[in-house]
Structure 1
Amino acid sequence: MSDAEAVAGLRDRLVDVGVELVAGEGAQALTLREIARRAGVSHGAPRRYFPTHLELLSAIARRGFAELGERAAGVIRDGTASPREQVAALGRVYLEFALGNPGMYELMFRHDLLESGHLGLRDSSLPLFGVLVDLVGRARPGADARPVAGALWANLHGIAQLWSWGSLQLATGAEDFVPLLRSALDAHLGPEGAL
């Protein structure tokens, strides 16, 4: 194994351990010391590959964006679905990901923590938002799609957070988030069939 392969292998292992750690214990568990311990390396080893803790956290978050992006691509590839149906499918995937991966989800959207401009997270997160903007633009022709998509995203994020806390179930009596997703779509795209 070459030195470059060894470096790539350890970098990947550190990120793999971080992904496992955030899945099992949440974003607060992602310390350099704990990641190094679980990877079986000295506590200083991660700094050789990730000069700052934020760079390692960003690499872990990029894995989450990659997974969410793959899931999203899987549901919007079908060219026969209407833009609104594709937005609904994307919203469902987003909420399922958020609720199924709470630690990763929390980490991914902490751009303030991860210094996204400096560490490449914009390249990981903005393409998915671009897909939403495109679909919203096609679902609401003539609307300024970027702020509408931003408001819809904020609404989905709020649903995910409040659902994970149990607040929406208590307040609405809903047993799943689908009625809330439909209401969010109606609020931001107009009632279904109203073009």
Structure 2
Amino acid sequence: MTVNPEEPPIISFRDVGMSFGASPVFDGLDLDIRRGEFVSIIGPSGCGKSTVLRLGSGLTEPSSGSIDRSTDNVGYVFQDATLMPWRTVRRNVELLGKLDKMPADELTRRVDAALETVGLAQYSHLLPRQLSGGMRMRASLSCARSTSPPRRPVAPRRGRPRRRQGMFSPPSGASPGPRSDCCRPPRTERSPPPVAPR
């Protein structure tokens, strides 16, 4: 997918700051994310990378500044595979759709597509403990991909179809080291979307 720099952003951070009680995490974050764009959030442990993702997906409100979203159809994949250990892969992926009372045929179609996309279709009958760590993370990604668009009204850009935006927290233990500079926003890098193999 080609990113159009003239297209209004899906999520905009404006002078966003975050603190937990008297402990500041960062401040002065300005960031625009557009449809089809891949943005990497980079920084040492404790600088607020996961907090930025939680803010962008609406799971947390900022302490200062503003966040504007043109959609609330945002998927979030946590650092750890948040799977229910007693449910099979398929039943885990189905769960959010069932809670959302998605029609059975639509749920089946979405779950099948999500599992196929991450290469877990043939492992859908297994329990999380029977999967490798990477497979569990892919199952978690399938959960985010299978949910339905929101039923409550939002204000999408006129004439533009809604698309699910993925926000991914870095894997546990992947941070490069302890934080040394409090209140400095994490760095962001942009890369072109990957090209699907032919």
TM-score over 0.5 for the pair: no
Richer in strand (by share) = 2
Normalized against structure 1, the TM-score is what? 0.26
Bigger relative CO (Cα 8 Å, ≥ 6 apart): 2
Normalized against structure 2, the TM-score is what? 0.26
Larger Rg belongs to: 1
